[in-house]
Amino acid sequence: LNLEHGLRKALKKNELFLVYQPQVQFHTRKIAGVEALLRWNKDSEGIISPGEFIPIAEDTGMILPIGEWVLKNACMQGSKWHQNGFDDLLISVNISVRQLLEESFVDRVESILIETHFPASSLELEITESTTMESMEETLPVLNRLREKGIRISIDDFGTGYSSLTYLRQLPVDTLKIDKMFIDDILTDPKAGAIAKTIIDMGHNLSFHVIAEGIESCKQIDFLLEQGCMYGQGYHLFKPLQPEELEKYLQENM
Protein backbone atom coordinates (compact mmCIF):
# COMPACT_ATOMS: atom_id res chain seq x y z
CA LEU A 1 0.00 0.00 0.00
CA ASN A 2 2.88 2.26 0.82
CA LEU A 3 4.54 1.48 -2.52
CA GLU A 4 1.26 2.04 -4.34
CA HIS A 5 0.87 5.45 -2.75
CA GLY A 6 4.46 6.40 -3.57
CA LEU A 7 4.15 5.11 -7.11
CA ARG A 8 1.20 7.39 -7.81
CA LYS A 9 3.42 10.35 -7.01
CA ALA A 10 6.61 9.02 -8.61
CA LEU A 11 5.84 10.35 -12.08
CA LYS A 12 4.88 13.79 -10.83
CA LYS A 13 7.91 14.00 -8.57
CA ASN A 14 10.25 12.98 -11.39
CA GLU A 15 11.51 9.95 -9.48
CA LEU A 16 11.52 7.52 -12.40
CA PHE A 17 14.49 7.17 -14.72
CA LEU A 18 15.78 4.81 -17.38
CA VAL A 19 19.07 2.98 -17.62
CA TYR A 20 20.19 1.24 -20.81
CA GLN A 21 21.77 -2.19 -21.11
CA PRO A 22 23.64 -2.84 -24.36
CA GLN A 23 22.86 -5.82 -26.58
CA VAL A 24 26.08 -6.89 -28.20
CA GLN A 25 27.11 -8.74 -31.34
CA PHE A 26 29.69 -11.17 -29.95
CA HIS A 27 32.31 -11.34 -32.68
CA THR A 28 32.48 -7.61 -33.38
CA ARG A 29 31.65 -6.45 -29.82
CA LYS A 30 29.45 -3.91 -31.56
CA ILE A 31 26.46 -2.56 -29.62
CA ALA A 32 23.50 -3.38 -31.84
CA GLY A 33 20.85 -2.11 -29.47
CA VAL A 34 20.07 -1.17 -25.89
CA GLU A 35 17.29 -2.29 -23.57
CA ALA A 36 15.67 0.51 -21.58
CA LEU A 37 15.21 -0.58 -17.95
CA LEU A 38 13.09 1.39 -15.54
CA ARG A 39 14.37 2.50 -12.12
CA TRP A 40 12.60 4.34 -9.30
CA ASN A 41 14.56 6.67 -7.11
CA LYS A 42 12.19 6.70 -4.14
CA ASP A 43 13.07 9.56 -1.80
CA SER A 44 13.30 7.65 1.45
CA GLU A 45 14.35 4.21 0.25
CA GLY A 46 16.88 4.68 -2.55
CA ILE A 47 16.66 2.91 -5.90
CA ILE A 48 13.84 0.40 -6.20
CA SER A 49 13.94 -2.31 -8.87
CA PRO A 50 11.03 -2.76 -11.28
CA GLY A 51 10.76 -6.37 -10.11
CA GLU A 52 9.29 -4.87 -6.94
CA PHE A 53 7.02 -2.19 -8.30
CA ILE A 54 5.98 -3.27 -11.83
CA PRO A 55 3.59 -5.93 -10.45
CA ILE A 56 1.94 -3.24 -8.29
CA ALA A 57 1.83 -0.86 -11.23
CA GLU A 58 0.16 -3.59 -13.28
CA ASP A 59 -2.43 -4.39 -10.61
CA THR A 60 -3.34 -0.75 -10.04
CA GLY A 61 -3.35 0.33 -13.68
CA MET A 62 -0.48 2.74 -12.97
CA ILE A 63 1.46 0.79 -15.61
CA LEU A 64 -0.46 2.72 -18.30
CA PRO A 65 0.88 6.23 -17.51
CA ILE A 66 4.22 4.79 -16.42
CA GLY A 67 4.54 2.68 -19.57
CA GLU A 68 3.74 5.70 -21.70
CA TRP A 69 6.40 7.72 -19.88
CA VAL A 70 8.94 4.93 -20.48
CA LEU A 71 8.17 4.70 -24.19
CA LYS A 72 8.34 8.43 -24.70
CA ASN A 73 11.58 8.87 -22.79
CA ALA A 74 13.25 5.89 -24.47
CA CYS A 75 12.27 7.22 -27.93
CA MET A 76 13.45 10.74 -27.05
CA GLN A 77 16.78 9.35 -25.90
CA GLY A 78 17.04 7.09 -28.96
CA SER A 79 16.32 10.02 -31.22
CA LYS A 80 19.09 12.02 -29.57
CA TRP A 81 21.59 9.17 -30.09
CA HIS A 82 20.51 8.83 -33.71
CA GLN A 83 21.08 12.58 -34.23
CA ASN A 84 24.51 12.22 -32.65
CA GLY A 85 25.47 9.77 -35.38
CA PHE A 86 24.57 6.39 -33.89
CA ASP A 87 21.67 6.02 -36.24
CA ASP A 88 21.58 2.25 -36.46
CA LEU A 89 21.07 1.80 -32.71
CA LEU A 90 17.93 -0.14 -31.78
CA ILE A 91 16.03 0.74 -28.61
CA SER A 92 14.18 -2.09 -26.83
CA VAL A 93 11.38 -1.24 -24.43
CA ASN A 94 9.62 -3.69 -22.09
CA ILE A 95 5.85 -3.62 -22.49
CA SER A 96 3.33 -5.13 -20.07
CA VAL A 97 0.51 -7.10 -21.59
CA ARG A 98 -1.87 -4.69 -19.85
CA GLN A 99 -0.48 -1.91 -22.06
CA LEU A 100 -0.78 -4.02 -25.20
CA LEU A 101 -4.43 -4.67 -24.47
CA GLU A 102 -5.27 -1.02 -24.02
CA GLU A 103 -7.45 0.03 -26.93
CA SER A 104 -5.38 3.02 -27.96
CA PHE A 105 -1.95 1.40 -27.54
CA VAL A 106 -0.93 1.28 -31.21
CA ASP A 107 -2.04 4.87 -31.79
CA ARG A 108 -0.14 6.04 -28.73
CA VAL A 109 3.06 4.36 -29.84
CA GLU A 110 2.67 5.91 -33.26
CA SER A 111 2.14 9.40 -31.79
CA ILE A 112 5.23 9.02 -29.64
CA LEU A 113 7.32 8.01 -32.67
CA ILE A 114 6.11 11.05 -34.60
CA GLU A 115 6.56 13.41 -31.67
CA THR A 116 10.09 12.22 -30.92
CA HIS A 117 11.16 11.81 -34.58
CA PHE A 118 12.20 8.25 -33.86
CA PRO A 119 11.93 5.67 -36.66
CA ALA A 120 9.53 2.76 -36.08
CA SER A 121 12.14 0.34 -37.43
CA SER A 122 14.54 1.29 -34.60
CA LEU A 123 12.03 0.55 -31.87
CA GLU A 124 11.71 -2.97 -30.51
CA LEU A 125 8.96 -3.85 -28.04
CA GLU A 126 9.77 -6.67 -25.61
CA ILE A 127 6.83 -8.69 -24.45
CA THR A 128 7.14 -11.62 -22.08
CA GLU A 129 6.35 -15.03 -23.41
CA SER A 130 4.05 -16.21 -20.62
CA THR A 131 1.64 -13.27 -20.42
CA THR A 132 1.39 -12.82 -24.17
CA MET A 133 0.62 -16.45 -24.85
CA GLU A 134 -2.05 -16.48 -22.17
CA SER A 135 -4.06 -13.89 -24.08
CA MET A 136 -2.95 -14.73 -27.58
CA GLU A 137 -6.33 -14.07 -29.19
CA GLU A 138 -6.32 -10.49 -27.96
CA THR A 139 -2.62 -9.77 -28.35
CA LEU A 140 -2.05 -11.23 -31.82
CA PRO A 141 -3.99 -8.55 -33.73
CA VAL A 142 -2.20 -5.82 -31.74
CA LEU A 143 1.21 -7.32 -32.49
CA ASN A 144 0.27 -7.54 -36.16
CA ARG A 145 -0.71 -3.87 -36.26
CA LEU A 146 2.53 -2.82 -34.55
CA ARG A 147 4.57 -4.87 -36.96
CA GLU A 148 2.70 -3.40 -39.96
CA LYS A 149 3.95 0.00 -38.77
CA GLY A 150 7.50 -1.34 -38.93
CA ILE A 151 7.97 -1.72 -35.16
CA ARG A 152 10.01 -4.75 -34.10
CA ILE A 153 8.67 -7.32 -31.65
CA SER A 154 10.81 -9.35 -29.29
CA ILE A 155 9.74 -12.24 -27.06
CA ASP A 156 11.37 -11.79 -23.65
CA ASP A 157 12.10 -14.62 -21.21
CA PHE A 158 11.71 -17.13 -24.02
CA GLY A 159 11.57 -20.71 -22.80
CA THR A 160 9.86 -19.97 -19.49
CA GLY A 161 6.33 -19.72 -20.84
CA TYR A 162 4.95 -22.33 -23.08
CA SER A 163 4.63 -21.12 -26.62
CA SER A 164 3.03 -23.85 -28.59
CA LEU A 165 4.67 -24.33 -31.95
CA THR A 166 1.35 -23.38 -33.52
CA TYR A 167 1.58 -19.92 -31.95
CA LEU A 168 5.23 -19.50 -32.89
CA ARG A 169 4.32 -20.07 -36.49
CA GLN A 170 1.73 -17.27 -36.40
CA LEU A 171 3.55 -14.80 -34.18
CA PRO A 172 4.66 -11.60 -35.88
CA VAL A 173 8.03 -11.62 -34.18
CA ASP A 174 11.57 -10.47 -34.99
CA THR A 175 13.55 -11.63 -31.97
CA LEU A 176 13.61 -14.37 -29.33
CA LYS A 177 15.45 -13.66 -26.10
CA ILE A 178 16.60 -16.88 -24.45
CA ASP A 179 15.81 -16.59 -20.75
CA LYS A 180 18.65 -16.11 -18.29
CA MET A 181 17.54 -19.24 -16.45
CA PHE A 182 18.94 -21.42 -19.28
CA ILE A 183 22.02 -19.27 -19.86
CA ASP A 184 22.92 -19.57 -16.14
CA ASP A 185 23.26 -23.34 -16.51
CA ILE A 186 24.48 -23.91 -20.07
CA LEU A 187 27.99 -24.83 -18.94
CA THR A 188 27.03 -27.04 -16.00
CA ASP A 189 23.77 -28.69 -17.03
CA PRO A 190 23.84 -30.50 -20.39
CA LYS A 191 20.05 -30.27 -20.56
CA ALA A 192 20.07 -26.48 -20.20
CA GLY A 193 22.70 -26.41 -22.94
CA ALA A 194 20.56 -28.64 -25.16
CA ILE A 195 17.52 -26.44 -24.61
CA ALA A 196 19.51 -23.30 -25.45
CA LYS A 197 20.79 -24.98 -28.61
CA THR A 198 17.27 -26.07 -29.56
CA ILE A 199 15.90 -22.54 -29.10
CA ILE A 200 18.77 -21.10 -31.18
CA ASP A 201 18.22 -23.56 -34.05
CA MET A 202 14.47 -23.26 -33.99
CA GLY A 203 14.62 -19.45 -33.82
CA HIS A 204 16.99 -19.26 -36.77
CA ASN A 205 14.95 -21.80 -38.76
CA LEU A 206 11.92 -19.56 -38.26
CA SER A 207 14.01 -16.52 -39.37
CA PHE A 208 14.05 -14.86 -35.94
CA HIS A 209 17.01 -13.10 -34.41
CA VAL A 210 18.10 -14.93 -31.27
CA ILE A 211 19.71 -13.17 -28.33
CA ALA A 212 20.91 -14.67 -25.05
CA GLU A 213 20.27 -12.76 -21.84
CA GLY A 214 22.00 -12.83 -18.48
CA ILE A 215 25.52 -13.55 -19.77
CA GLU A 216 27.95 -13.50 -16.87
CA SER A 217 31.09 -15.17 -18.30
CA CYS A 218 33.12 -15.42 -21.50
CA LYS A 219 32.78 -19.22 -21.45
CA GLN A 220 29.05 -18.76 -21.92
CA ILE A 221 29.76 -16.61 -24.99
CA ASP A 222 32.07 -19.33 -26.40
CA PHE A 223 29.35 -21.91 -25.92
CA LEU A 224 26.67 -19.71 -27.51
CA LEU A 225 28.88 -18.85 -30.49
CA GLU A 226 29.52 -22.56 -31.04
CA GLN A 227 25.76 -23.05 -31.17
CA GLY A 228 25.32 -20.23 -33.67
CA CYS A 229 23.94 -17.56 -31.33
CA MET A 230 25.55 -14.23 -32.21
CA TYR A 231 23.99 -11.71 -29.84
CA GLY A 232 23.87 -11.36 -26.07
CA GLN A 233 23.18 -9.17 -23.12
CA GLY A 234 24.47 -9.50 -19.57
CA TYR A 235 26.66 -8.19 -16.79
CA HIS A 236 29.76 -9.77 -18.35
CA LEU A 237 29.27 -7.55 -21.40
CA PHE A 238 27.68 -4.44 -19.88
CA LYS A 239 25.66 -3.60 -16.82
CA PRO A 240 22.71 -1.28 -17.40
CA LEU A 241 24.25 2.18 -17.94
CA GLN A 242 23.16 5.75 -17.36
CA PRO A 243 22.49 7.43 -20.72
CA GLU A 244 25.57 9.68 -20.31
CA GLU A 245 27.80 6.65 -19.67
CA LEU A 246 26.47 4.87 -22.73
CA GLU A 247 26.90 7.94 -24.90
CA LYS A 248 30.49 8.32 -23.74
CA TYR A 249 31.19 4.67 -24.56
CA LEU A 250 29.62 5.00 -28.01
CA GLN A 251 31.64 8.12 -28.76
CA GLU A 252 34.91 6.54 -27.69
CA ASN A 253 34.42 3.11 -29.22
CA MET A 254 32.05 3.14 -32.16
Return residues touching ligand G (CB under 6 A).
Answer: 21, 37-38, 49-51, 54, 70, 94, 96, 156-157, 213-216, 233-235, 240
Strand (E) or helix (H) holding 85: none
Q: Is 78 in contact with 119 (CB distance < 8 Å)?
A: no
Q: How far is the CB of 140 from ligand G (least distance, A)?
A: 19
State whether residue 33 is helix, strand or coil.
strand
Of 112 and 186, the one with the shorter C-beta distance to Na ion is 186
User: Does 124 help bind Na ion (rule: CB under 5 A)?
Assistant: no
Extract the runs of DSSP E, i.e. beta strands, from the chain: 16-25, 30-42, 46-48, 90-94, 123-128, 152-158, 175-178, 209-213, 231-233
Pairing of β 152-158 and β 123-128? parallel
Q: Kindly indicate which of the ranges 24-32, 125-133, 136-144, 214-222 contains the residues binding Mn ion, using the contact rule CB under 5 A.
A: 125-133
User: Does 157 help bind Na ion (rule: CB under 5 A)?
Assistant: yes
Q: How far is the CB of 208 from Mn ion (least distance, A)?
A: 16
Of 12 and 169, the one with the shorter C-beta distance to ligand G is 12
Selected binder of Mn ion within 68, 102, 129, 156 (CB under 5 A): 156
Distinct helix (H) and strand (E) counts, the chain: 12, 9
Of 116 and 233, the one with the shorter C-beta distance to ligand G is 233
List interacting residues with Na ion (CB under 5 A): 156-157
